[in-house]
Structure 1
Amino acid sequence: MAIFRSREGDATADAAQAVATQANQWGDPFGRLATRSIQIIVVVVVAAGLIYSFKTLSLVTIPVLLALIFASAMHPVVSFLRKHRVPSLVATLIALFGILAVLGLVGWLVVWAVENQASSLVSSAEKGIGQLQDFITTLPFSITDQQIEDVRDTVVNFVTSASFGSGALAGASAVGSFATGLVLMIVVLFFFLKDGPAIWEFMLRPFRGQQYARARRIGDKTVQTLGGYVRGTATVAAVDAIGIGLGLWIIGVPLALPLAVVVFLTAFIPLVGATAAGILAALVALVANGPIDAIWVIAVVVLVNQLEGNLLQPVLMGHTLRLHGLVILVALTAGTVLGGIVGAVIAVPLTAVAWGIVGVWKGPDQPAEMFRQKRPEEVR
């Protein structure tokens, strides 16, 4: 009996030694590197799966995301109305029709202005093209009339080609998808405005204790960040549109109103949106009025953008978009590659939400451990 006990003890000791050896192998620097590598691979695979699912189901995910963004922006309005004893359904309909009215007004302004100023734009464009050709002859390098005609023929050939026709068919399909997504967004937006807190509370039922508190913080931070971003960006975009629109009107550039609307819309794309709108306005001024007015348009755009970047952005967006410019640029590029224009619009607010969640992971003002700012004594 003692011999069997001795053998059992030796086997237990050997097993413990093997476990300790294996633990030491995973605990050394190379083992920790391997562990981190496996974790990174798992995270990358999960992220790739989520991105693939997002792109595959974009007709559903994008309207839902847009509905969440609009609902977050209008959450203070709905809460204010409910606190003043306005029925929940009435408050929801007021917010919903307010959003739809703003979106419809933007689209109507573009269509109305283009229809009313199309003829004047054509006549101004003919005059501007003549001025542009005269200006080209003064350049240090020569551009012949034949080269200009070749470029014009290339454009005409493309418009009348089969490729352009197939593109038009693809555009018709895109219009159908847009209409479907718009209807879905309106329906989801209605329920988010009406029952948003109840929907989130239902999703939190599996959580208990600290996990429940963390999930509540994440929900509150998401609504706060998205709402603040949309309201701040909309305010900045409105100021940009009014300033640049007035400048275009004073200079006498055709389509000043629709160009101002384009400025408002592109302002929701950080860093590059204002530049793109400025280039478009300068091109219209160059074609319609000539190079002198185009230079004045560029000056107006630069002036308004400087006022926005140095005055409005820090005041209105300072507490909402706490992201470095490099992070914004990377998020913007990734969103554009993955989702086109819509991806460029929603990439930055989603990145801001992710960073806000990190900031409240451990508590209301306690970020996750690995993202905490180190004290000088901890760096040593």
Structure 2
Amino acid sequence: MFGRQRPRTQATQAVTMNSAHTPRRLWSDGFGTLATRSIQLIAVVILAAGLVVTFRSLSLVFIPVLLALIFACAFEPLMARLRPRLRPTLSTIIVLLAIVLIVGGLGWAMVSAVRHQWDDLYEQAQAGVQQVIAWVQTLPFAPDQEQIDEWFATVTDFITSAQFGQTVGSGAVAGVGALANFVTGFVLLVVVLFFFLKDGPELWRFLTRPFEGEWYARVRRAGSKTVDTFGAYLRGTAAVAAVDAIGIGIGLLVLGVPLAFPLTILVFLLAFIPIVGATVAGILAALVALVANGPVVALIVIAIVVVVNQLEGNFLQPLLMGRALKLHSLVVLIALTVGTVLGGILGAVLAAPFAAVVWGIVQVWDGPETPARWARDNKKPAVRT
């Protein structure tokens, strides 16, 4: 009687049959998780590619709006002081005229200075390159003259090719189209900037209406971080570029380097491209000094550029920009490369502030001082309140 097995109840049999016939969930194991993440990654890549294609197709609209946003962020502190004292339209007109006069005057002065002496600047730089090549040929590991002639022949063949000639031949038509696009973009920039300066807070409140609760607070933090970062970037970069140009320009004048004024203007312009711009400006100034004043003065120019860049990186940028653009140099270089590929020179200029804005939003994603979960340093002890 004790060895007799108890009969299974009907419910127990039903559970056993269901367990035996339950299909295995294909997406619940490790490979299914990998497949899910891969599909999500593909979707993100497709979305990013679509945004890039849309941006490049509508660049005539996006670029003026983007530049207007950056200028509006930079002058928002001034507008915040003028709004309570003057009428919104009057204060906006005053600030807009100041922006147009300052930017237009500086742009005209820079283009005029560089354009009138560009041929001399190019000849001096080319002669400097030739002297550097001649010096490199004296080194034991330098390439021989045959290899150098082959490299130059390749470049010459490309320049004299039919494809390049057709491209240059259509340059007049392209120039007319570029001028029309520039005028259209500039007019759009001024109009959009007027409304950003005048009705910026109202426009932002309108855009945040669909959000509620936690997402509303998150969007508000992201907007405040964007305004602060773009404003700090433009104001700080302009101040740093001015200091760099003045410091290097004084050094070039004292050393008697020719074309000091256009070189100073180029230093100011290239300073808006982080890391790479200052290096290119220093190399160009050193090449001109090498041809006109000899190798000793060229080395002094390089020393001046290095000292000014060190002063900029270690003192001026932390003082003028704070932590708005606190990014690793590798991140900045990758952002510059991507921006240059997608948007040319303008993309290189805007790459660093955009990367800083993205990182700044990540830093306030879950709170004013709380980054997103994946970006938190879990090794740090929790702050007790």
Q: CA RMSD in A?
A: 3.7
Query: Is residue 67 of structure 2 the alignment partner of residue 89 of structure 1?
Result: no
Alpha-carbon distance in structure 2 between the residues aligned to 1:26 and 1:98: 61
- Offset of residue 267 of structure 1: 1.1
| 1:212 to 2:216 alignment | yes
Aligned residue in 1 for 2:110: 110
| Deviates further, 110-119 or 39-48 | 110-119
Asked if 1:140 corresponds to 2:138, the answer is yes
Q: Are residues 117 and 336 of structure 1, via their aligned partners in 2, closer, same or farther at CA, if it must alter by over 3 Å?
A: closer
Task: From the two aligned structures, give the one with the greater helix fraction.
Answer: 1
One-letter identity of the residue aligned with 1:338: L
1:251 matched residue in structure 2: 255
TM-score (ref. length: structure 2): 0.81
Q: Distance in 2 between matches of 1:306 and 1:332?
A: 20
CA distance in 2, matches of 1:235, 1:250: 23
Structure-1 residue corresponding to 2:99: 99
Is it true that 1:282 corresponds to 2:286 in the alignment? yes
1:317 to 318, 321, 324: 321
TM-fit CA distance, 1:177: 1.7
In 2, Cα distance between the equivalents of 1:236 and 1:105?
19
Write out per-residue CA displacement over residues 171-211 of structure 1, whole angstroms, 9 at most, x where no aligned residue: 34323222221111111111111111111111112112222
SS at match of 1:319: coil
- What is the TM-score with the length of structure 1 in the denominator? 0.82
Q: How many residue pairs were aligned?
A: 358
User: Is the Cα–Cα contact under 8 Å of residues 278 and 309 in structure 2 kept in the other structure?
Assistant: yes
Distance in 1 (CA, whole Å) between partners of 2:352 and 2:228 is: 15
Q: How does 1:285-300 map to 2 (within 5 A)?
A: 285-300=289-304
| 2:369 counterpart SS class | coil
Q: Specify the alignment match of 2:310 in structure 1.
A: 306
> Measured at CA, do residues 106 and 255 of structure 1 come closer, stay the same or move farther in structure 2, by a change above 3 Å?
farther
Contact 2:241 2:271 in 1 (8 A): yes
Alpha-carbon distance, 1:317 to partner: 2.8
Instruction: Give 1:191's match in structure 2, choosing from 191, 195, 199.
Output: 195
Contact 1:113–1:255 (Cα < 8 Å) also in 2: no
**Change beyond 3 A, Cα 1:367–1:15:** farther
The percent identity for this pair of structures is 55
Match 2:270 to one of 266, 282, 288: 266
Match of 1:3 in 2: none
Change (3 A) 1:143 1:197: same
Given the alignment, which residue of 240, 243, 248 partners 2:244? 240
Taking a change above 3 Å as real, the CA distance of residues 179 and 311 of structure 1, as seen in their structure-2 partners, is same
After superposition, what is the alpha-carbon deviation per residue over 1:102-141, rounded to whole angstroms, capped at 9, x for unaligned? 212222322443577689x59x969x969x77x9599738
Q: CA deviation at 1:10?
A: 6.2
CA distance in 2, matches of 1:138, 1:205: 64
For residues 326 and 117 of structure 1, what CA distance do their matches in structure 2 show?
Answer: 35
Letter in 1 for 2:74: A
SS in 2 for 1:347: helix
**Retained in 1: the 8 A contact 2:114–2:265?**
no
| Alpha-carbon offset, residue 237 of structure 1 | 0.9
Deviations, residues 37-85 of structure 1 (Å, cap 9, x unaligned): 12111111111111111111111111111111111001011101124x1
Instruction: Determine if contact 1:114/1:255 at 8 Å carries over to the other structure.
Output: no
Determine whether 1:363 maps to 2:367. yes
Shifted more, 288-297 versus 269-278: the winner is 288-297
Match of 1:50 in 2: 51
> What's the offset of the Cα at 1:291?
4.1
2:241 alignment partner AA:
A
CA positional deviation for 1:31 = 2.2
Cα 1:111–1:268 change in 2 (3 A) is: closer
For 1:366 and 1:337, how far apart are their aligned partners in 2?
33
**What letter is aligned with 2:98?**
G
* 5+ residue gaps, structure 1: 1-5
Equivalent residues in 2 for 1:29-178, closer than 5 Å: 29-83=30-84, 85-114=85-114, 121=120, 136=134, 140=138, 163-178=167-182
Distance 1:365 1:73 in 2: 23
Q: Which runs of 5+ in 2 are unaligned?
A: 1-9
Would you say the 8 A contact 2:335–2:352 is kept in 1?
Answer: yes
Deviations 1:133-161 (A, max 9, x none): 7x9599738979xx8xx99xx69x86995
Q: Deviations over 1:246-304 (max 9, x none)?
A: 11122222332222222112111111010111122223334444444333322221221
